[in-house]
Amino acid sequence: MTNRPPSVILAGGLARRMGGGHKSLLKIDGLSMLDHVIQRLQPQTSKIVLNVNGDNSQFLGYGLPIVSDTLPGFLGPLAGILSGLRWAQNLNADCLISVAADTPFFPEDLVEKLIHTTADMKHPLALAFTRDEKGKVLRHPTFGIWPVSLADNLEDALLDGLRKIVFWVDQHGGRCVEFDQGLFDPFFNVNSPDDLLRAERLLGTKK
């Protein structure tokens, strides 16, 4: 795949259900969740930045640039995406890919499909989705492609109180890109200690 865009890993959440702290640093099969995410993302993208809020000293060893939210108040993943877009502006990039730091099994063709689906859009904007066993659409709002040209608009929306990613995406005519479920939803994310145990089991099935 040519013309790989830059990407942001969203690791700025407060992880309340995991007891606080940076849950992306929890281990799965000896490696942090963040390690697994980086390994999966690096072949798909040109550059990676980490969005981390609070003490970022534990992330310095990854050798990646780190950006905190540009807006105060822990406004959620949209604020992390905005910070990524501001970083991408400095790279003169047209768009940015976002992934979540607690989702270690996301598709290896994520970026390729997002780019292909938005190739004819003036402002490439799309979110990933899968379907459950009943065919219901499950959108994954932290996995998407974002146009740098709409960074100012996104900042204004956040300052006006918008927090829901899908609302902003729908307002701007964003698309949905379907990914296969396979043996399990590749966008399964770790939100609890039980989820961490499940991730260990799922990693075993993929080896």
The span from the CA of 172 to the CA of 170, in Å, is: 5
Compute the mean pLDDT over every residue in the chain, rounded to the nearest whole number: 91
Q: pLDDT band for position 195 (50/70/90)?
A: confident
Task: Please tell me what DSSP assigns to residue 141.
Answer: E
Task: Say which residues have a Cβ less than 8 Å from residue 61's Cβ, sequence separation at least 6.
Answer: none
Encoded amino acid at 34, one letter: L
pLDDT attached to residue 90: 96
Tokens of 33: 């969740």
Q: Look-up: residue for tokens 């990914």?
A: 179
Average pLDDT estimate for 114-125? 96
pLDDT at 207 > cutoff 60: no
User: pLDDT per residue over 128-137, tens digit each?
Assistant: 999 988 889 9
Handedness of CA 64, 102, 34, 147 (dihedral sign): negative
User: pLDDT per residue over 22-74, tens digit each?
Assistant: 889 989 888 999 999 999 999 999 999 999 998 899 999 999 999 999 999 88
User: Taking Cα atoms as reference points, which of 61, 29, 66, 73 lies closest to residue 47?
Assistant: 66
pLDDT attached to residue 21: 64
User: pLDDT per residue over 149-194, tens digit each?
Assistant: 999 999 999 999 999 999 999 999 999 999 998 778 899 998 888 8
Q: pLDDT band for position 1 (50/70/90)?
A: very low
User: pLDDT per residue over 67-103, tens digit each?
Assistant: 999 999 889 999 999 999 999 999 999 999 999 999 9
User: Taking Cα atoms as reference points, which of 44, 28, 36, 29 lies closest to residue 11?
Assistant: 36
pLDDT at 17 > cutoff 60: no
Report, in angstroms and rounded to the nearest whole number, the Rg of the chain calculated over CA atoms. Answer: 16
Determine the straight-line distance between the first and last CA of the chain, rounded to whole angstroms: 25
pLDDT attached to residue 147: 98
Task: Say which residues have a Cβ less than 8 Å from residue 143's Cβ, sequence separation at least 6.
Answer: 98, 99, 100, 103, 106, 110, 127, 128, 187
User: Taking Cα atoms as reference points, which of 41, 23, 146 lies closest to residue 84?
Assistant: 146
- Tell me what percent of the residues of the chain surpass a pLDDT of 90: 72
Q: Where are the domains of the chain?
A: 7-206
Judge: domain 7-206, CATH 3.90.1300.10: no
Q: What is the pTM of this model?
A: 0.92
